[in-house]
Amino acid sequence: MRPDDICPRLDTVPPQPTQPLVPPIYPAVVYRCADPQQASTLLAGDEDGYVYSRDGQPNADLLSAKCRELHGADRAMICGSGMAALSAALLATLQAGDHVVVSDKLYGRSGSLFTSEAARLRIDSTVVDVCDLAAVRAAMTAKTRLLVAESISNPLLRVCDVAALAEICHRHKALLLVDNTFASPIVCRPLELGADLVMESLTKIVNGHSDVLLGLLCGREAHWQRVPHVVTTWGLSASPFDCWLAARGLATLALRAARAGDNARLVADKLAADRRVARVIFPGLADHPDHELAKRQFAAQYGAMITLILPGGTAAAARFISHAKRIPFAPSLGDLATTLSHPESTSHRGLSDQERTALGIDGGMLRLSVGVESPETILDALEEGLSAG
Ligand SMILES: *Cc1c(COP(=O)(O)O)cnc(C)c1O
């Protein structure tokens, strides 16, 4: 055999008497077709099967099938990031001349996607407080095709009434798209409450290990028509290795969410009783503005995000961060371990002081993403930060 002719490819894997316990990773970009007839029917979508991985690959399908079941969706698609999934939703449901109603509490990039980026496509938008149903009704027009809201918002952890928003949308022949990233399907399943499309950044709680960037879009068959075409044509697809890792993360989602949710509940109660903390925001606390709604709408847990406000503003937050050495200041969420973020300097740094004040964001505000450590370890680590104040 000439060295130049060594090729790692086999025509087929030799038949095996046993099956691997874990799914393989399929990095192949392209699949061999038997003949032109098969290539043509596969590419036309008249027959199920893989040809080119931007159009579909086994690792994305394995992951999307599980996400589809968790959400009770008819269809699901994995995209290269949460933002890719939101872009797919925008491009599949809206066109020039349409109008979209956008929550005023969206993740920053999502807000710009559905307002300034949408405007470049001649899609008009109105930004409203989705917790004010009268304001939502007033924002709907004859051209409104979509409403975008988050089931739990950042950093005030406001909960939107999915069933009520869905009813308003459907009366106006518009669709409701819910970003369920902060809740995860363990806490909330918006399709069961009437939403038409659900998006999640799998990067966060679902993968849970801060080592994958991926997004999910899922929904009802009736609204799915354009989604696969948009994902492949705008190039929003995911990589096989990322999907494989996220499927591994997903396997422990229920365990992690239960543990982190129990920890969050305990930490929220402790912080609420601590005089060094000005305010604790957690949907599971009775003084949260959406507590009753959360109790009704969520399955058992209230999520693992807690926002606290220290009385001393930005300087107090900085002192806390520098002393709470065992809690990484990492502006994301959903990791195995407890992390914290400072909205004023990260997620909401693009806003003016006035805009931040209007949203209720204070320099002393910290957002905890509670992890799965022992509760004692989390409380000790928080104490190191609090005693610095
Ligand atoms: C992170 C995040 C996104 C964007 O997801 P990426 O995977 O980072 O692209 C969207 N919405 C919310 C609520 C997020 O936290």
Say how far apart CA 209 and CA 248 lie, in whole Å.
Answer: 10
- Answer yes or no: is the C-beta of 179 below 6 A from any ligand 1 atom: yes
Write down the pLDDT at residue 148.
98
Write down the pLDDT at residue 324.
97
- Answer yes or no: is the C-beta of 181 below 6 A from any ligand 1 atom: yes
Q: How many C-beta atoms lie closer than 10 Å to residue 263's C-beta?
A: 23
Beta bridge partners of 127: 102
| Local structure of 247: helix, strand or coil | helix
- Dist. CA 200 → ligand 1 center (Å): 7
Q: What is the DSSP letter of 152?
A: B
Give the CA count within 13 Å in the CB-facing half-sphere of 347. Answer: 25
Report DSSP letters for 169-225, one per residue.
HHHTT-EEEEE-TTTHHHH--GGGGT-SEEEEETTTTTT-SS----EEEEE-GGG-T
pTM > 0.75: yes
Write down the pLDDT at residue 4.
87
- Answer yes or no: is the C-beta of 110 below 6 A from any ligand 1 atom: yes
Say how far apart CA 370 and CA 336 lie, in whole Å.
Answer: 8
CB 117 within 8 A of CB 73: no
Ligand 1: residue whose CA is nearest its atom 8: 82
What residue ranges of the chain have pLDDT lower than 50? none
Mutate to test the pocket of ligand 1, among 78, 90, 107, 198 (most ligand atoms within 8 A of CB): 107
Mutate to test the pocket of ligand 1, among 181, 187, 209, 369 (most ligand atoms within 8 A of CB): 181
Token output for 12: 């087929």
Q: Which of 165, 109, 105, 114 is nearest to 140 (CA)?
A: 165
Write down the pLDDT at residue 12.
74
Write down the pLDDT at residue 14.
81
- Answer yes or no: is the C-beta of 242 below 6 A from any ligand 1 atom: no
Say how far apart CA 133 and CA 143 lie, in whole Å.
Answer: 19
Sign for the CA dihedral angle at 299, 301, 304, 308 comes to positive
Token output for 342: 């400072």
Q: How many helices (H) and strands (E) does the chain have?
A: 15, 11
The catalytic residue positions are 54, 107, 179, 204
Say how far apart CA 340 and CA 333 lie, in whole Å.
Answer: 8
Write down the pLDDT at residue 186.
97
> How does strand 215-219 pair with strand 75-79?
antiparallel
Closest ligand 1 atom to Cα of 204: 1
- Dist. CA 49 → ligand 1 center (Å): 30
Cis previous bond, 23, omega within 30: no
Backbone phi and psi for residue 261, each to the nearest 5 degrees, phi listed first: -65, -45
- Answer yes or no: is the C-beta of 150 below 6 A from any ligand 1 atom: yes
- Answer yes or no: is the C-beta of 87 below 6 A from any ligand 1 atom: no
**Residues 49-63: tens digit of each pLDDT:** 999 999 999 999 999
Say how far apart CA 196 and CA 177 lie, in whole Å.
Answer: 6
CB 244 within 8 A of CB 25: yes
